[in-house]
Structure 1
Amino acid sequence: MSLKIQIILMSYNRPEFILEAIKSIQNQTYKNIEFVVSDNSSNNVVFDLIQKSAPEVKIVKRGSNFSMSQHWNQILSEVSSSGHADYFMMFHDDDIMLPNCIADLVTLIEQNPTVSAVAGNAYVIRQTSLTDDIFNSRLKENLLIKNVEELGLRYFEAGAGVNPFPGYLYSKKVAQTFKFNNKEAGKHSDVTFLFKALTLGPIAWAAKPTMNYRIHGSNDSVGVDMLALLGLVKIYLRSAKSANAIYHAKEFTFKNYLLWLKEQNIKKMYKAHPQRVKTIIWSATKFFSQNPSGMMKYCLRKFGMADAN
């Protein structure tokens, strides 16, 4: 008997993309699917559009306009209390499933029956243009991730690559066991949610693309949130204790710290307060780098400043 899959299409104020997302779900070659749109928009534009253009689609309008975390947890609660599905996916309204998406992920589950979740790779859409770019281009064969340290290294180690979060298909037991908490790590709390899932079983990644993942200016990944990032690293290091894990977590944090400095217009600040800026960078390099003097000079060159003496 085939696995029953529940797909929840999460919507928030993106009517320009949602019909394409709906069509891609309806066109799945795998047929044992229950599909619903969870509309958390601040207005009725998406709801009215679906009622008019895709009236056959079940849509739940969230009247209270939940926060992102509340929306997630409402869906998890509904999945948990439902007896219908073996696995579920919380897909995003601006992405597109390839026709064999669910079929390929179900095959991956059948090959790895103890998994808590599986996820496919993706082609990249930039704004509205589909490219040949593979989101996780380093992944050449399917991968089974067994623990938090292994998953974290995929995020922290330079060039390792990850599969996109909207394409995850979770075991129902994930919804029955965990809630989403964006206070843990802000916009990186999707990763801490996966850390939790790993306590129930491994996560399998498919090297083959199963979706088209859209990158645009309103993606949550745009910009550096240092508090969120530090929250993620703190949670990771509770489980990952090896020297390799600590090294890559520090390196990842420091590189994002440099990006954050750039976003803060550090070059302009340096012209006004050179010694203060040097002190800020030096404090960070002493913590993150095994060669702080060399890293200090690298940082100043990177931002077009004079070398430290």
Structure 2
Amino acid sequence: MAMKFSICFLQYNRIELLIKSLKVIEQQTYADIEVIVSDDCSEDDTMEKITELQKTYKFPLKLSRNDKNMGYDYNYRKAIELGTGEYCLALGNDDTIYEPDSIEYLVKFLEENDYPEIGYCNFIEENNPGVVVKRAQATKVLGSGVGVALNYYNGFSFVGGLIYKKSAFDKYNTSKHDGSIYSQMYLGVLMITSGCRLFTVEKPLVLKDMHFKDGSFRWSYYRDGLPKNWKEYRVMDGGLPSVANVLITAVEDATNSSESDIAFRILKRIYSITFPFWVIQYKKYGSYAAAVGLISGLYPPRISSYVKINITQKISLISIYLSVSVAGLAFPSVLFEKVKTKLYMWVRRNK
């Protein structure tokens, strides 16, 4: 009997993009697919458009609407909860499945590798169709445990293409970090540390950030929200303290212990890799005010997780922070773009 597979959409407004994505998914060659749309009280005509599409859609198309706007984390979990397939793949409403045989390819991999519990795939951005964004370096089962979880948690930052064995998701699903906007990272680290096997798929299965008819896309709005000059300067944290908190908590919850070495390992990685990336990225967007605001907002004693590390680790973290801040402001954005892929690969090899 063929494996039933659920494609689960987190929906809030932007119905134009969701309809575009759903029409692409109709091209899938794999037969036993259901599509879930969990609507978080959209203010547009989502309900009418999806209800109409249900009449003619190729696959079973299930629509659920929250009674009130519950926020990203709740709706993310709800979309997957609604899935009845053996596996579920999550998508934002501006993402879609990349190639007609993508689900067929994924199902074959899962069957051939003893049905691992959690994973993610690579993706391509519609704005840059010739480049595969390689969060996955291989198609393989990587294993489980705290080491695997902390080495690969970055892969869970983008929701599109996160894949769950439904029975495992149901076992660990929790509202504990609803409101953080990083519940998928908490769940990923919790599951892998607790023994669920992580797998990655190098082939791009997802197309990310589809364009509206006018050519705009999600990141356009993100950049527009950054300070454009020094008059608009504000202290920012980029959500990184929240990321640190959910990651540390996930390991603590899975192991029933609290160790400063784990907290320091997570904070060191964030301050050494993620933090400088965003400093340089903000500069690339032309917003030095945002870059400086991020540096100010991430002064280590400002963040709640700082109290979880010992005095020696605190001194080390502040030293990393100061060095990275100076380097991030000084490093040319143009040069960074040229070496970004090589640096990323180096980081993955030396994690």
Deviation at 1:22, TM superposition (A): 0.3
Instruction: Choose which of 38, 60, 64 in structure 1 pairs with 2:68.
Output: 64
Shift of 1:53: 5.6
Query: Cα deviations across residues 112-159 of structure 1 (Å, max 9, x unaligned)?
Result: 21411233211123xxx2421211166144342322321321246xxx
The answer to whether 1:147 aligns with 2:151 is: no
1:274 maps to none
**1:101–1:264 Cα change, 3 Å:** same
- Confirm whether residue 209 of structure 1 aligns to residue 204 of structure 2: yes
Q: Distance between the aligned counterparts of 2:179 and 2:262, measured in 1?
A: 18
Kindly indicate whether the alpha-carbon contact (under 8 Å) linking 2:6 and 2:89 is maintained by their aligned counterparts in 1. yes
Q: Highest relative contact order (Cα 8 Å, sep 6+), 1 or 2?
A: 1
Q: Deviations over 1:211-248 (max 9, x none)?
A: 112283367xx971243022034235535999997765
Higher mean displacement: 189-198 or 25-34: 189-198
| CA apart distance, 1:183 | 2.5
Residues 5 and 138 (structure 1), Cα distance of their counterparts in 2 relative to 1, 3 Å cut: closer
Q: Paired residue for 2:104?
A: 103
Aligned-partner SS, 1:165: coil
Alpha-carbon distance in structure 2 between the residues aligned to 1:114 and 1:133: 29
For residues 298 and 72 of structure 1, the distance between their equivalents in structure 2, rounded to whole angstroms, comes to: 33
Question: Partners in 2 of 1:176 and 1:41 — Cα distance?
Answer: 24
Q: Indicate the SS of the match to 1:13.
A: coil
Answer whether contact 1:267 1:303 (CA < 8 A) is retained: no
Q: TM-score, normalised by structure 1?
A: 0.72
- Cα deviation for residue 162 of structure 1 reads 6.6
Point out where structure 2 has 5 or more consecutive residues left out of the alignment: 210-216, 227-236, 280-287, 331-351
CA distance in structure 2 between the partners assigned to 1:244 and 1:71 by the alignment:
33
CA contact (8 A) 1:90 1:166 kept: yes
| Residue-by-residue CA offset, 1:60-90 (whole Å, 9 max, x unaligned) | 33342322233234345444xxxx5222223
3-state SS in 1 of match to 2:91: strand
Kindly report the root-mean-square deviation, in angstroms, between the aligned alpha carbons of the 2 structures. 4.1
Q: Is the CA contact (8 Å cut-off) linking 1:5 and 1:87 kept in structure 2?
A: yes
Which residue of the other structure, out of 221, 227, 230, is the alignment partner of 2:241? 227
User: TM-score, normalising length from structure 2?
Assistant: 0.65
> In the alignment, is the contact (CA less than 8 A) between 2:41 and 2:68 conserved in 1?
no
CA distance 1:232–1:65, shift in 2 (3 Å): closer
Cα distance change, pair 200–85 in 1 and its aligned pair in 2 (3 A): farther
Please list, as runs of the form range in 1=range in 2, the aligned pairs for 1:14-93 lying within 5 A after superposition.
Answer: 14-52=14-52, 55-57=55-57, 58=61, 59-79=63-83, 84-93=84-93
Unpaired segments ≥5 residues, structure 1:
270-276, 305-309
Give the direction of change, closer, same or farther, for the CA distance of 1:171–1:293 in structure 2 (3 Å limit): closer
SS in structure 2 opposite 1:10?
A: strand
Larger Rg: 1
Q: How far has the Cα of 1:95 moved from its partner?
A: 0.5
| Mapping for residues 156-305 of structure 1, pairs under 5 Å | 164-181=158-175, 183=177, 186-198=180-192, 199=194, 201-214=196-209, 216-217=218-219, 224-235=238-249, 238=252, 248-255=265-272, 256=274, 263=290, 265=292, 287=313, 290=316, 296=322, 299-300=325-326, 302-303=328-329
Task: Tell me, in whole angstroms, the C-alpha distance in 2 between the residues paired with 1:165 and 1:72.
Answer: 9
How many residue pairs end up in the alignment?
Answer: 283
Counterpart of 2:6 in structure 1: which amino acid? Answer: Q
Distance 1:145 1:50 in 2: 39
Query: How has the CA–CA distance of structure 1 residues 11 and 114 changed in structure 2, closer, same or farther, with 3 Å as cutoff?
Result: same
Task: State the SS of the aligned residue for 1:265.
Answer: helix
2:338 match:
none
